[in-house]
Amino acid sequence: EVQLVQSGAEVKKPGESLSISCKGSGYSFTDYWINWVRQVPGKGLEWMGRIDPSDSRINYSPAFQGHVTISADKSITTVYLHWSSLKASDSAMYYCTTAHPGGFDYWGQGSLVTVSS
Amino acid sequence: EIVLTQSPATLSLSPGETATLSCRASQSIDYYLAWYQQKPGQAPRLVIYEASKRAPGIPARFSGSGSGTAFTLTITSLEPEDFAVYYCQQRTIRPPLTFGGGTKVEIK
Protein backbone atom coordinates (compact mmCIF):
# COMPACT_ATOMS: atom_id res chain seq x y z
CA GLU A 1 0.00 0.00 0.00
CA VAL A 2 1.38 3.38 -1.01
CA GLN A 3 1.54 5.79 1.89
CA LEU A 4 2.86 9.26 2.57
CA VAL A 5 3.06 9.85 6.31
CA GLN A 6 3.75 13.36 7.49
CA SER A 7 5.11 14.67 10.75
CA GLY A 8 2.74 16.07 13.33
CA ALA A 9 1.37 19.49 14.09
CA GLU A 10 3.79 22.20 15.14
CA VAL A 11 3.40 25.43 17.11
CA LYS A 12 6.25 27.88 16.69
CA LYS A 13 7.12 31.52 17.27
CA PRO A 14 7.99 33.98 14.52
CA GLY A 15 11.65 33.81 13.61
CA GLU A 16 12.06 30.20 14.67
CA SER A 17 13.17 27.48 12.31
CA LEU A 18 11.19 24.37 11.45
CA SER A 19 11.38 21.24 9.34
CA ILE A 20 8.43 19.03 8.59
CA SER A 21 8.75 15.63 6.99
CA CYS A 22 6.97 13.28 4.63
CA LYS A 23 7.89 9.60 4.57
CA GLY A 24 6.98 7.51 1.57
CA SER A 25 6.44 3.77 1.59
CA GLY A 26 4.93 1.03 -0.53
CA TYR A 27 6.49 2.12 -3.80
CA SER A 28 9.85 2.85 -5.41
CA PHE A 29 10.57 6.14 -3.67
CA THR A 30 13.09 7.41 -6.23
CA ASP A 31 10.79 6.93 -9.21
CA TYR A 32 8.39 9.84 -8.66
CA TRP A 33 8.58 13.50 -7.77
CA ILE A 34 7.11 14.60 -4.46
CA ASN A 35 5.31 17.93 -4.25
CA TRP A 36 4.55 20.23 -1.34
CA VAL A 37 1.20 22.05 -1.27
CA ARG A 38 0.13 24.77 1.16
CA GLN A 39 -3.40 25.51 2.29
CA VAL A 40 -4.12 28.44 4.53
CA PRO A 41 -7.28 27.72 6.58
CA GLY A 42 -10.36 28.58 4.56
CA LYS A 43 -8.32 29.27 1.43
CA GLY A 44 -7.26 27.42 -1.71
CA LEU A 45 -4.39 25.13 -2.62
CA GLU A 46 -0.97 26.55 -3.44
CA TRP A 47 1.78 24.51 -5.10
CA MET A 48 5.04 25.28 -3.34
CA GLY A 49 7.55 23.11 -5.13
CA ARG A 50 8.69 19.58 -5.79
CA ILE A 51 11.71 17.34 -5.52
CA ASP A 52 12.95 14.36 -7.50
CA PRO A 53 14.15 12.03 -4.75
CA SER A 54 16.50 10.18 -7.08
CA ASP A 55 18.84 13.14 -7.57
CA SER A 56 17.31 15.93 -5.45
CA ARG A 57 16.45 18.11 -8.44
CA ILE A 58 14.09 20.78 -7.12
CA ASN A 59 11.59 23.18 -8.67
CA TYR A 60 10.17 25.98 -6.54
CA SER A 61 7.19 28.18 -7.11
CA PRO A 62 8.37 31.81 -7.39
CA ALA A 63 6.00 32.59 -4.54
CA PHE A 64 7.98 30.37 -2.17
CA GLN A 65 11.49 30.46 -3.62
CA GLY A 66 13.94 31.74 -1.06
CA HIS A 67 11.58 31.30 1.88
CA VAL A 68 11.47 27.51 2.13
CA THR A 69 13.90 24.71 1.36
CA ILE A 70 12.89 21.32 0.05
CA SER A 71 15.22 18.37 0.53
CA ALA A 72 15.17 14.59 0.47
CA ASP A 73 16.95 11.70 2.10
CA LYS A 74 16.36 8.73 -0.13
CA SER A 75 18.07 6.38 2.31
CA ILE A 76 15.10 6.80 4.62
CA THR A 77 12.55 7.59 1.88
CA THR A 78 11.76 10.97 3.40
CA VAL A 79 11.40 14.47 2.03
CA TYR A 80 11.50 17.65 4.09
CA LEU A 81 10.16 21.17 4.00
CA HIS A 82 12.28 23.60 5.97
CA TRP A 83 11.92 27.19 7.12
CA SER A 84 14.88 29.01 8.64
CA SER A 85 12.79 31.91 9.92
CA LEU A 86 9.04 31.47 10.23
CA LYS A 87 6.48 34.21 9.82
CA ALA A 88 2.93 34.34 11.08
CA SER A 89 1.80 34.11 7.47
CA ASP A 90 3.34 30.62 7.27
CA SER A 91 0.51 29.32 9.45
CA ALA A 92 -1.19 26.75 7.28
CA MET A 93 -1.76 23.09 6.52
CA TYR A 94 1.02 21.59 4.44
CA TYR A 95 0.55 18.50 2.31
CA CYS A 96 3.03 16.32 0.48
CA THR A 97 1.74 14.54 -2.59
CA THR A 98 2.98 12.30 -5.36
CA ALA A 99 1.43 11.43 -8.73
CA HIS A 100 1.93 7.97 -10.21
CA PRO A 101 0.92 6.78 -13.69
CA GLY A 102 -2.64 5.78 -14.38
CA GLY A 103 -4.18 8.46 -12.20
CA PHE A 104 -2.85 7.11 -8.94
CA ASP A 105 -2.37 10.13 -6.75
CA TYR A 106 -1.29 10.01 -3.13
CA TRP A 107 -1.44 12.66 -0.44
CA GLY A 108 -0.09 12.79 3.06
CA GLN A 109 -2.45 13.49 5.93
CA GLY A 110 -1.20 17.05 6.23
CA SER A 111 0.97 18.85 8.77
CA LEU A 112 -0.59 21.85 10.51
CA VAL A 113 1.89 24.61 11.25
CA THR A 114 0.88 27.43 13.59
CA VAL A 115 3.17 30.42 13.97
CA SER A 116 2.21 32.77 16.75
CA SER A 117 3.96 34.96 19.27
CA GLU B 1 3.74 31.23 -14.78
CA ILE B 2 0.50 29.68 -16.00
CA VAL B 3 -2.55 31.16 -14.29
CA LEU B 4 -5.70 29.06 -13.93
CA THR B 5 -9.04 30.82 -13.50
CA GLN B 6 -11.99 28.82 -12.21
CA SER B 7 -15.60 29.80 -12.52
CA PRO B 8 -18.01 30.17 -10.95
CA ALA B 9 -16.64 30.61 -7.44
CA THR B 10 -19.76 28.99 -6.01
CA LEU B 11 -22.36 26.76 -7.61
CA SER B 12 -25.62 26.20 -5.72
CA LEU B 13 -27.41 23.09 -6.91
CA SER B 14 -29.78 20.41 -5.69
CA PRO B 15 -29.01 16.68 -5.57
CA GLY B 16 -29.79 15.12 -8.92
CA GLU B 17 -28.86 18.22 -10.89
CA THR B 18 -25.80 18.60 -13.14
CA ALA B 19 -22.78 20.67 -12.16
CA THR B 20 -20.63 22.30 -14.83
CA LEU B 21 -17.34 23.78 -13.62
CA SER B 22 -14.93 25.77 -15.78
CA CYS B 23 -11.16 26.18 -15.65
CA ARG B 24 -9.31 28.47 -18.05
CA ALA B 25 -5.52 28.59 -18.47
CA SER B 26 -3.57 31.72 -19.34
CA GLN B 27 -1.67 29.78 -22.00
CA SER B 28 -2.01 26.41 -23.65
CA ILE B 29 -1.42 23.42 -21.40
CA ASP B 30 -2.48 20.82 -23.99
CA TYR B 31 -4.39 18.23 -21.97
CA TYR B 32 -2.24 18.40 -18.84
CA LEU B 33 -5.00 19.38 -16.46
CA ALA B 34 -6.21 17.66 -13.31
CA TRP B 35 -9.30 18.17 -11.18
CA TYR B 36 -9.38 17.58 -7.42
CA GLN B 37 -12.23 17.32 -4.95
CA GLN B 38 -11.72 18.49 -1.39
CA LYS B 39 -14.10 18.04 1.52
CA PRO B 40 -13.70 19.85 4.86
CA GLY B 41 -10.92 18.44 6.99
CA GLN B 42 -9.67 16.13 4.24
CA ALA B 43 -6.78 16.12 1.81
CA PRO B 44 -7.70 16.72 -1.82
CA ARG B 45 -8.66 13.71 -3.92
CA LEU B 46 -7.82 13.38 -7.59
CA VAL B 47 -10.95 13.11 -9.72
CA ILE B 48 -9.77 13.69 -13.30
CA TYR B 49 -6.29 13.69 -14.83
CA GLU B 50 -5.06 14.51 -18.32
CA ALA B 51 -8.22 16.56 -18.81
CA SER B 52 -10.62 13.66 -19.35
CA LYS B 53 -9.41 10.50 -17.61
CA ARG B 54 -11.16 9.46 -14.44
CA ALA B 55 -8.88 8.54 -11.56
CA PRO B 56 -9.27 5.03 -10.15
CA GLY B 57 -12.42 4.63 -8.12
CA ILE B 58 -14.10 7.79 -9.38
CA PRO B 59 -17.73 7.27 -10.43
CA ALA B 60 -18.76 7.62 -14.06
CA ARG B 61 -20.95 10.65 -13.25
CA PHE B 62 -17.71 12.66 -13.20
CA SER B 63 -16.36 13.64 -16.60
CA GLY B 64 -13.76 16.07 -17.84
CA SER B 65 -13.27 17.70 -21.20
CA GLY B 66 -11.22 20.34 -22.95
CA SER B 67 -7.73 21.01 -24.17
CA GLY B 68 -5.46 23.97 -24.71
CA THR B 69 -6.81 26.71 -22.50
CA ALA B 70 -10.43 25.78 -21.74
CA PHE B 71 -11.52 22.88 -19.57
CA THR B 72 -14.73 21.65 -18.00
CA LEU B 73 -15.58 19.28 -15.18
CA THR B 74 -19.12 17.94 -15.37
CA ILE B 75 -20.83 16.08 -12.56
CA THR B 76 -24.14 14.61 -13.66
CA SER B 77 -26.89 13.69 -11.23
CA LEU B 78 -25.21 15.13 -8.15
CA GLU B 79 -25.04 12.87 -5.14
CA PRO B 80 -24.92 14.26 -1.57
CA GLU B 81 -21.25 13.24 -1.27
CA ASP B 82 -20.32 15.33 -4.34
CA PHE B 83 -20.86 18.64 -2.56
CA ALA B 84 -17.34 19.89 -2.00
CA VAL B 85 -14.73 22.29 -3.35
CA TYR B 86 -13.14 21.46 -6.68
CA TYR B 87 -9.75 22.66 -7.84
CA CYS B 88 -8.05 22.41 -11.20
CA GLN B 89 -4.27 22.12 -11.51
CA GLN B 90 -1.98 22.34 -14.49
CA ARG B 91 0.36 19.39 -14.64
CA THR B 92 2.60 20.18 -17.59
CA ILE B 93 6.36 19.79 -17.33
CA ARG B 94 6.56 23.55 -16.75
CA PRO B 95 6.57 24.43 -13.06
CA PRO B 96 5.05 25.98 -11.08
CA LEU B 97 2.20 23.46 -11.19
CA THR B 98 -0.38 26.07 -10.32
CA PHE B 99 -3.87 25.48 -8.96
CA GLY B 100 -7.01 27.38 -9.79
CA GLY B 101 -8.82 29.27 -7.07
CA GLY B 102 -11.49 26.62 -6.62
CA THR B 103 -15.24 26.23 -7.14
CA LYS B 104 -17.47 25.36 -4.22
CA VAL B 105 -20.40 23.14 -5.14
CA GLU B 106 -22.96 23.68 -2.40
CA ILE B 107 -26.41 22.36 -1.71
CA LYS B 108 -29.15 24.74 -2.77
Partner B contacted by A33 (CB < 8 A): no
pLDDT tens digit string along B95-106? 999 999 999 999
Phi (first) and psi of residue A103, to 5 degrees: 80, 15
pLDDT at A66: 96
Question: Is the CB of residue A60 less than 8 Å from the CB of residue A85?
Answer: no
pLDDT at A73: 96
Find the CB nearest B56 among A49, A63, A104.
A104
What is the average per-residue pLDDT within A51-78? 96
pLDDT at B97: 95
pLDDT tens digit string along B6-27? 999 999 999 999 999 999 999 9
Phi (first) and psi of residue A90, to 5 degrees: -80, -5
pLDDT at B72 over 90: yes
pLDDT tens digit string along A85-98? 999 999 999 999 99
pLDDT tens digit string along B31-60? 999 999 999 999 999 999 999 999 999 999
Question: Is the CB of residue A97 less than 8 Å from the CB of residue A35?
Answer: yes
Residues A70 and A64: their CA atoms lie apart, in Å, by 11
Tell me how crowded residue A19 is: count the other CB atoms within 10 A of its CB: 13
pLDDT band, residue A112 (cuts 50/70/90) = very high
Instruction: Classify A40 as helix, strand or coil.
Output: coil
Beta-carbon contacts of residue B83 (< 8 Å; ≥ 6 apart):
B105, B106, B107
Distance from CA of B80 to the nearest CA of A (A): 21
Q: Do A49 and B54 touch (CB under 8 A)?
A: no
Q: Report which of A35, A32, A42, A33 is spatially closest to residue A6, judged by C-alpha positions.
A: A35
pLDDT band, residue B93 (cuts 50/70/90) = confident
Q: Which amino acid is at B70?
A: A
Q: Report which of A29, A40, A48, A14 is spatially closest to residue A92, judged by C-alpha positions.
A: A40
Question: Is the CB of residue A14 less than 8 Å from the CB of residue A87?
Answer: yes
Residues A13 and A83: their CA atoms lie apart, in Å, by 12
Element (H, E) at B20: strand B19-25
Question: Is the CB of residue A44 less than 8 Å from the CB of residue B101?
Answer: yes
Q: What is the mean pLDDT of chain A?
A: 97
pLDDT at A103 over 90: no
Q: Which amino acid is at A112?
A: L
pLDDT at A98: 96
pLDDT at A102: 86
pLDDT at B102: 98
What is the average per-residue pLDDT within A38-42? 97
pLDDT at A115 over 90: yes
Partner B contacted by A106 (CB < 8 A): no
